[in-house]
Amino acid sequence: MLHRQRTAPDPLCNREATNSAYHSGTSISHPTTVPLPAQIVWLFVLAIPIACVAWTITHEEVFREPREYCVRCSRECESLWKRKFFYLFTCEYCFSHYVTLFFLLLTGYRLLLLDWRGYLIAWFALVWVANQYMTIYANIRVDLKVERLNAKKVEKEVEHKELEIEERRPAVNRPAA
């Protein structure tokens, strides 16, 4: 009869599940002991800086020159691998996968499970939420731009009407030319 050497249980694991797995000789994956609501809060909060970094690098003016270089290389490089590598820096969806990986390594955040599958689930969930945030932000920017353009159009119409009114005034009120 083989005896297993008992190791100290993981403090994040459910002790009953650990003990029953030890006694039955089976291996089970343990759910995290972090409450699900806290994991969900982490999911939605951690996706904010991921979206921010991915959007800033792929869209904002501060990174325009490097982005234009990457766009040019993604179209003109001879090698397929080089073209795909440079494309990563021009697509917010693609780039958000790498930003998410960085934040997972930085924080150690796992979703639902404590093992590698928790990291994998967290990775895809964070990418999805971050991309939802970027979509919302893009739609808000479009709406603001439309409002700004409409305001400029109304301003020009008002100026045009003011000029028409000015031209219709009697010659008495106008200064001599």
Instruction: Identify the burial level of 47 via C-beta atoms within 10 angstroms of its C-beta, where 0-12 means exposed, 13-18 middle and 19 or more buried.
Output: buried
pLDDT at residue number 120? 96
- Helices 64-76 and 80-87 meet at what angle, rounded to 10? 150
At 24 the pLDDT is 43
Token pair recorded at residue 39: 């994991």
In whole angstroms, what is the distance from residue 102 CA to residue 87 CA? 18
Positive or negative torsion for Cα 24, 26, 28, 34: positive
Residue 39: predicted pLDDT: 94
| pLDDT score, position 4 | 46
pLDDT of residue 163: 83
- Whole-model pTM? 0.65
pLDDT per position in the chain (177 positions), as tens?
A: 444 444 444 444 444 444 444 344 444 455 667 899 999 999 999 999 999 999 999 988 899 999 999 999 999 999 999 999 999 888 899 999 999 999 999 999 999 998 999 999 999 999 999 999 999 999 998 888 888 888 888 888 888 888 888 887 765 555 655
Place of tokens 């343990």: 30
